[in-house]
Amino acid sequence: MNSTDLPRLTVRSPADLIAAVPYLLGFHPAESIVVVAMSGSRIVFAARSDLPGDADPREAAGHIAAVTARQGADSATVIGYGPAAQVTPALDALRDVLADAGLAVLDALRVTDGRWWSYLCTEPDCCPPEGNAYDPRASSVPAAAVFAGQVALPDRATLARQVAPIGEATMRPAIERAEQRLTALLAGAPASDLLGRRALRVAGVAAYRAARRRHRDGERLTDDEVAWLCLLLTHLPVRDHAWERTDGRVEDVAFWSELLRRAEPELIAAPGALLAFAAWRDGQGALAAVALERVLAEHPDYSLALLMDDLLRRGVPPSRLDGWPIDGSATGSKRGKRRPRRRQPRRRDQ
């Protein structure tokens, strides 16, 4: 199974759906509201947000409902994780705004301490007042998901650690060497090369190609290779060259993850934004979100990160932009469209 083929998980009961949610999101939710959107009998979208806490539940519900309504879904199941005092008003608000958006709410569930309750079922035989105990191990869903190569991390913090800095002390000297190399490159550019732009792009393309080739061969990039490429990626023509060649492939996600984790904070903007793009293209909205959080904390005005953050917040599906930025306006390049991607359930997290 490649990264564009999420497994078909057969869901026959609320317990099965609860068991499936961590694999739809990529991690086990807690203190959360989750929407699982359907088109017919097919799951097309899963989104998560924090419980609103003291905030107006209708405001939070309105945002996640608006995102869900744009996914081509006709129905949804909503699930709240946490104590009843926090989950109930959040789910009530979400059910109302989903209905106002024209989506049928198939069920509304609360999950607390290994038990689940339905807000729509009043039959004591199947939905007793004390709730239903559930054990995900009793469902066939986790086994099917694991067999298909899907992973459900323990929580969102574990996911965030996948983009956390490695903190190699040797990177700072490597950056200093890269800066000296860049100074020499610009000094050696011919007078006809205004501001050394051509020399920068040639060097950037060469560095990107060499790094991708070594990464595909399973070789670990040296500190100097990481520092040099990340420094060159601060120049937009180099960044856009890499962007045009980034899609939702496993190797794209792995490559940009490594660069983001190893780069020093001042150089993480391009690798982090490109990781977010690759993860979003692969349907890994939660991974894209944590990558963007890290980038925007250091570089709040970085345009590509802001663009990706807007796409995630509006729930734009990757299929809407097949071929972009190759055939889009971002770079003006016209190399032709990428091959169409198979439709898959989309995951979003905020």
Indicate the domain borders of the chain. 14-154, 171-349
Whether 191 and 321 have beta carbons less than 8 Å apart is answered as: no
Distance, CA of 51 to CA of 82 (rounded, Å): 8
Distance, CA of 231 to CA of 236 (rounded, Å): 11
Structure tokens at 336: 């032709």
Core vs surface per residue 2-39: b (16+ CB within 10 A) or e = ebbebbebebeebbbbbbbbbbbbbbbbeebbbbbbbe
Q: How far apart are the first and last CA of the chain?
A: 27
Check residue 325 and give its pLDDT: 64
Check residue 321 and give its pLDDT: 67
- Helix and strand numbers, DSSP H then E, in the chain: 13, 7
My answer on whether omega of the bond before 128 falls inside 30° of 0, hence cis, is: no
On the CB side of 62, CA atoms within 13 Å amount to 5
3-class state of residue 303 by DSSP: helix
Q: How far is CA 177 from CA 167, 171, 172, in A?
A: 18, 10, 9
Check residue 8 and give its pLDDT: 61
110: β partners? 80, 117
Check residue 328 and give its pLDDT: 45
Helix residue spans in 220-313 (DSSP H) = 223-232, 236-244, 250-262, 269-281, 285-298, 303-313
Q: What is the pTM of this model?
A: 0.78
Check residue 348 and give its pLDDT: 60
Q: How far is CA 202 from CA 185, 191, 273, in A?
A: 11, 16, 22
Distance, CA of 179 to CA of 173 (rounded, Å): 10
Structure tokens at 210: 């060499």
The CATH architecture to which 14-154 belongs is: 3-Layer(aba) Sandwich (3.40)
Q: Which residues neighbour 174 within 8 Å (Cβ) at sequence distance 6 or greater? A: 222, 223, 224, 226, 227
Query: What sign does the CA torsion over 179, 182, 187, 193 have?
Result: negative
Helix residue spans in 282-340 (DSSP H) = 285-298, 303-313
Structure tokens at 118: 């339905």
- What pLDDT tens digit does each residue of the chain (350 aa) get? 223 334 466 777 898 999 999 988 889 999 999 999 998 888 888 889 899 888 888 887 888 888 888 888 899 999 999 999 999 999 999 999 999 989 999 999 999 999 999 999 988 888 899 999 988 877 888 777 776 667 789 899 999 999 999 977 889 999 999 999 999 999 999 989 888 899 999 999 999 999 999 999 999 999 999 999 999 999 999 999 999 999 888 999 999 999 999 999 999 999 999 999 999 988 888 899 999 999 999 999 999 999 999 998 888 877 776 666 655 444 333 333 443 343 445 556 65
